[in-house]
Structure 1
Amino acid sequence: MRGTAKLPTKAQTGERPDAVSALRTSLAALAADLSIEVTPKEALRGAAGLGELPPRTRTFITRLPKGSFEETLAAAMRLRACGLNPVPHFTARTTADATTLARRLDRMVVEAGVEEILLVAGSNDRPEGPFASTIDILKCGVIESSGLRALNVAGHPEGHPQANEAELHRALDAKNEFAARTGMPVALVTQFFFDAAPVIAWEERIRVLGNKLPIDPGLHGVTGMTSLMKHALACGVGASVKVLAQRSGNLLQFAQIHAPDAMLGELAAAKAADASSMFRNVHMFPLGGFERTVAWANSLRQGRISVTPEGRVTVAA
């Protein structure tokens, strides 16, 4: 299913005559360094579509609840051998201590050529060591001495089940402070979503509050409604699940393959309308549709997109 996205209004664009061109420019910017998620098993077995990714594509390696560090390291090495840029997940609550963290980061950098990671708190109810949050990790001094060139951390447009809004703002301030203090590039990566409006509003809100970190909004991949619902419930995606539930009420829609064209268009329209927008590149969550998602992403990168005068965005299948 292909969706639609509205172009910026005349008021938003300042009566610019070529809004379609502005939208295309934003679409190209969001696709310039597009990243994608892969499981360790998909990386190790050489999942269909993996070889179709352009060289140096930032390829995030999911840390599954029962996964091991050695499996993640092997996946990172395989991705590097394929000419890709592996970005492994590190979870604060599964890290025993600072020494273990330093040793594991060193192995990632030296053995797999890792240049950046995604650092998240993790879903464990209780931490295995002294790190209950990403902020605890950032305070320990290991990241900046690890040899990493960049850091990715989680952004939470729809809130977080284990933190209130005030706590999220304090954490965001600490992430900004870390970037300013160390000079290390830090970016926010969001979970996938099904309604772009709350994400656009969140970006504007945290920018007003002082956020200076670029944001890579997460988009679901090209997959079926069953897979979308399963992953949404498993990941605890917030208010936009209601939008997905409304769409899944139609049996015909339930059987269709869904692509994130409409949400991509809305993000691009917001970026085109506001030069200060912190949206940087989209991050893809294939959710079981890896090969189709890679094909969609490659079409986006190659500019094989149609944009109607009314602002409907369609990425070539």
Structure 2
Amino acid sequence: GASLLRGAAVARPPGVPAAAAAAAAISSMSPPSIGRLERRLVSLGETLSLEVAPGDVGPYAHTGKKKKGLLDLLAEEPSPGCSLPSHAVVYVNMVKAFYTHFDEVAAAVAALSAAGLMPVPHLPAARFSSPSQVGEQMRAMVRAGAADFLVVGGNDLRERVEANECCYKGGASALLEQERGRWHDLGTTGATVAGHPEGLPALGFCPSATAAVLAGKVRPLLEAGIDVTIVTQFCFDANKLLKWLARTRRDMAALEAELPRSGAAAGAGGASGRCGRTRFRIGLPGPAPRKKLEKIAYICEVDPLFIKPAFSLLDTESDGLVGLGQLEEFSDTLGLPRGAVRALHARHASGDGALGRAQFNALLAEAAARPALAPRSAAPPPDAAGGPR
């Protein structure tokens, strides 16, 4: 299974394991000698988390695999400071589409918990034919050491619903609505849901429809006093990701502000008497060969355009330079506001009007730091409202 670094993406030196490379790249920085961006990366690294498949947890001596697992790599410490942050969150995905695979997930959760990490297993709604199965697996995961659950629909949700093999026809939204009381019963005060910066494929990638689905997942949890972490699908388009984050932060802040008023009348707040709060974790692709990233992007229905650096897309003459004409031609692809392209170019280009790679990156960083543009209006497809999520 592919490991995704949910917090930092770094280049991996030859012979250094991916997880160790990520930790080393951040923890080896010397605060007095680094700039503002690097300091922010160090701060980000303090909350670094990973996602792994159950079979990639290890230790390999127990799994019988030839390759080493995450716990083996962390135990080796190939260089000083190569470790995950204390009590780092590790998401454990469910890569096999059958119910008994939960046993492997629970074993991985137990191994991670014993190593002092905070495992968060995936809980795909598609796997459950009855509510009792949800309770059974949630209890088993908590006994194994699960700190939380990432509730998802599952790639085969539609097929399972049509075959009457899934009791949650609304997918993750339905499971969260119907089973939110189990979080309190098990003593867990937080839940995790998926965010989709590029939009949900089943909704035609429509931003407004995707935002409505996310709000529908989050609201009942917050009303029940459950804190919600929104962890995003990985995204190669940094501009699109930042604008989604700005919009979604505003949406969640408005929802939180609304709940104390609506909750007072409805008796919201669960046993704690308080409404929950939201936080974010941003999914980034970890160090992996391009072909592997392309394969994962295809499976997850993620746009692979920016697997290749944006500069390379514009540098059509392969001379290491980009001009105003290329910026204007690719402005929509890059998410640059057309009215601001010339001004951005003038501020960052050299005297001859050319942009090198560093200048181009600075231009994109400035554009991304601007207030997010209003999303383009897009109507959801006709069947979007009733589709399972």
Same fold (TM over 0.5): yes
Q: How far 1:22 sits from its partner (Å)?
A: 4.8
Q: How far 1:25 sits from its partner (Å)?
A: 4.8
Paired letter, 1:49: L
What is the DSSP-based 3-state SS (H/G/I as helix, E as strand, rest coil) of the residue aligned with 2:201? coil
Q: Aligned to 1:129, which of 151, 155, 166?
A: 166
Structure 1 or 2: larger strand share? 1
> How far apart in 1 are the matches of 2:226 and 2:370?
26
Q: Does 1:152 align with 2:192?
A: yes
Counterparts of 1:1-317 in structure 2 under 5 Å?
Answer: 22-46=36-60, 47=69, 48-51=72-75, 52-66=83-97, 68-110=101-143, 112-124=144-156, 125-126=158-159, 127=161, 128-131=165-168, 132-141=170-179, 142-163=182-203, 164-211=206-253, 213-238=278-303, 241-244=304-307
> How far apart in 1 are the matches of 2:299 and 2:215?
28
Q: How far 1:245 sits from its partner (Å)?
A: 5.2
Contact kept in structure 1, 2:47 and 2:85, CA below 8 Å: no
> How far apart in 2 are the matches of 1:199 and 1:95?
32
Paired letter, 2:287: V
> How far apart in 2 are the matches of 1:82 and 1:107?
18
Paired letter, 1:196: A
> How many equivalent pairs are there?
240
What is the DSSP-based 3-state SS (H/G/I as helix, E as strand, rest coil) of the residue aligned with 2:191? strand
Q: What runs of 5+ residues in structure 2 fail to find an aligned partner?
A: 1-9, 12-33, 61-68, 76-82, 257-277, 316-357, 372-389
What is the DSSP-based 3-state SS (H/G/I as helix, E as strand, rest coil) of the residue aligned with 1:123? coil
Q: How far 1:76 sits from its partner (Å)?
A: 0.7
> How far apart in 1 are the matches of 2:189 and 2:242?
28
Q: Cα–Cα, structure 1 residues 120 and 50, in superposed 2: closer, same or farther, change >3 Å?
A: farther
Q: Cα–Cα, structure 1 residues 29 and 97, in superposed 2: closer, same or farther, change >3 Å?
A: farther
Q: How far 1:246 sits from its partner (Å)?
A: 6.9
Moved more, 163-172 or 128-137: 163-172
Paired letter, 1:149: T
* Bigger relative CO (Cα 8 Å, ≥ 6 apart): 1
Paired letter, 1:193: C
Q: Cα–Cα, structure 1 residues 75 and 274, in superposed 2: closer, same or farther, change >3 Å?
A: farther
Paired letter, 2:148: E
> How far apart in 2 are the matches of 1:273 and 1:243?
19
Q: Cα–Cα, structure 1 residues 245 and 181, in superposed 2: closer, same or farther, change >3 Å?
A: same
Q: What runs of 5+ residues in structure 1 fail to find an aligned partner?
A: 3-19, 251-261, 276-317
What is the match of residue 8 of structure 1? none
Return the TM-score normalized by structure 2: 0.55
Paired letter, 1:34: L
Return the TM-score normalized by structure 1: 0.66
| Aligned residues with identical type, % of pairs | 29
Contact kept in structure 2, 1:92 and 1:137, CA below 8 Å: yes
